[in-house]
Chains A and B, each alone.
Chain A
């Protein structure tokens, strides 16, 4: 049997036969375009289904108000809860990231990171259950203390909730949920802080904290900013924890220790959608559109900050 002649015919140098390549490239490109189409589709379909509510007369919407008045308390609650979460989570996340990269023994770094990342793996509904069953009741004492001593601040005007189902607790739970996201991004950047600069400052006699302040933190600043924005985006969209924990009355207030709280856009949808029909559904979807817009802006901003940080 001649291996040379019958199984291998000499390939003539011929016309391009790129059909397979063109087809596959087309399919792959199609998948890429699908992403763009999907995002556009989200916007389009949401607008289609929100339109009736956006253009409704005041008496058609729940609460006898036009859409702007309907969505304003929800937007306020969304921003307030996310704001509390960010204020708590960012310093903690930066601290955790510093601990893992610069204070803990090197060998443990990956285990400790996995532990913190575990916080991100837990489904939000479980955070909600834990918040209402454990954290809320346990925090009643603290919230009462805050009311007793700091009621001159608008945040603690009170009267304090007896169940702990307050905006403060929601903010804390949201903070725990977004902490791993912020920490993971910041941790990676801290780990890449230029070694020569760090060793240089230590060689000049700086303490570890001074080295961190002079080299690591400035190096990580763009990452901290963009991680904060990403965490903010996540907190804005969080639904279940808020829906389960928060005791809602719908008023707009900065009072975070009382049982009367504004709801958030996402929680409001979760709570009311299953039982709604007609124009109420449109109103809920329209509020979702508003949420989509807010998170879109925040996320795009975060990516642009990263891009600018990478370039500089």
Chain B
């Protein structure tokens, strides 16, 4: 008796160009309609994508089956999520570059706001302040952070180490304004209320930098293989010398990257500095005496409390914003390059 070969079910597929065509057509239609009716193009584009998604889903359902249709819709959802996440990034960068370019001139970088009302002036006092405050904050938090990471990785054992590592994690969640209030409270109790100094801001920033430095240094120390430590001990080298002269140099590239990322994080902080460093229109290079301006507070105040007319103030604010973004992006890029060169990826 002949046994018929089993018939494999036939799977029909939408042609590969099909979804692209539908989405493309929908978006083109949306742009055209926006041009004609003047309705916001973003809204129309979103509506178009949603409608196109429904069309593709229905089409796929009839041709390929319900499960495939759901899969296609899921792909649309996930891809849209990603696109949606990038839209504000692009919009923000474009806005800052466009509006900041207006005052991105030599005067902006060489003058302060001393005796400036309305047009002109610059942010050199803010830039100097940012550099000084960040430098002091790094000088405080980096040594303590590295030593703490060494403690956790090389020496810590038992309950104390468990508590320290837990609270380092907790510290990463301190709101920046609370760190500012803390720094203010410390200095106010010692020096009296209403105190405003550059160094208080630096203390607040180091509270924010510390957990970042500790975590990334700890990661780097973990990457150093134990065989190196063993080789050093076997030579009769004491533990502390091993840590300082073998482990740390091996982890150095990664530690430097972590520090740069920590600096990038705090260089744009505004809130803690608002409550600690005050507002001033001229350059102050002494963090221990007098108020100090910095870039982010500068941008905030220029925008929030402009004079009349407000345009020159807004323009300065945007130029300061552009400067800030350039600094932050530069730090991130260099950090990534360093870590790629030395082959260690930093996890946040």
Contact = CB atoms under 8 A, between A and B. Distances in A.
Nearest to A229: B173
Interface stretch (A65-73, A96-104, A159-167, A253-261): A96-104
Nearest to B266: A123
Given A32-B160, A126-B96, A119 B85 contact: yes
A288 interface: yes
Q: Which DSSP category, helix, strand, loop or mixed, fits chain A's interface?
A: helix
A215 interface: no
B164 interface: yes
Contacts of B43: 141-142
A44 B99 CA distance: 44
Interface stretch (B50-58, B110-118, B250-258, B296-304): B296-304
Question: Chain B: interface residue count, which band?
Answer: 35 or more
Contact of B299 (A91, A129, A284, A296): A129
Interface residues of A, number: 100
Interface in B66-100: 67-68, 70-71, 74-75, 77-82, 84-86, 88-89, 91-92, 95-96, 99
A302 B173 CA distance: 10
A208 B70 CA distance: 10
B193 A277 contact: yes
Contacts of A102: 78
Contacts, number: 277
B173 A296 contact: yes
B207 A115 contact: no
A122 B325 contact: yes
A251 interface: no
B95 A288 contact: no
A57 to B, nearest CB: 20
Nearest to B77: A95
B243 A24 contact: yes
Given A125-B321, A207-B71, A270-B275, A300 B148 contact: no
Closest 4 CB pairs of A and B: A123-B268, A237-B175, A95-B81, A299-B173
26 contacts: A18-B238, A25-B155, A35-B148, A35-B210, A36-B167, A38-B171, A39-B171, A49-B189, A103-B78, A112-B82, A122-B92, A123-B268, A123-B269, A125-B324, A135-B88, A138-B42, A184-B348, A233-B173, A239-B175, A266-B175, A269-B177, A270-B270, A274-B278, A292-B175, A299-B169, A303-B169
Given A31-B147, A126-B92, 6 more contacts: A42-B207, A99-B82, A125-B270, A237-B177, A239-B271, A288-B178
Interface of B: 40, 42-43, 67-68, 70-71, 74-75, 77-82, 84-86, 88-89, 91-92, 95-96, 99, 144-145, 147-148, 150-152, 154-156, 160-161, 163-164, 166-179, 181-182, 184-186, 188-189, 193-194, 207, 210-211, 214, 236, 238-241, 243-244, 264, 267-271, 274-275, 278-279, 296, 299-300, 303-304, 317-318, 321, 324-325, 328-329, 332, 336, 347-348
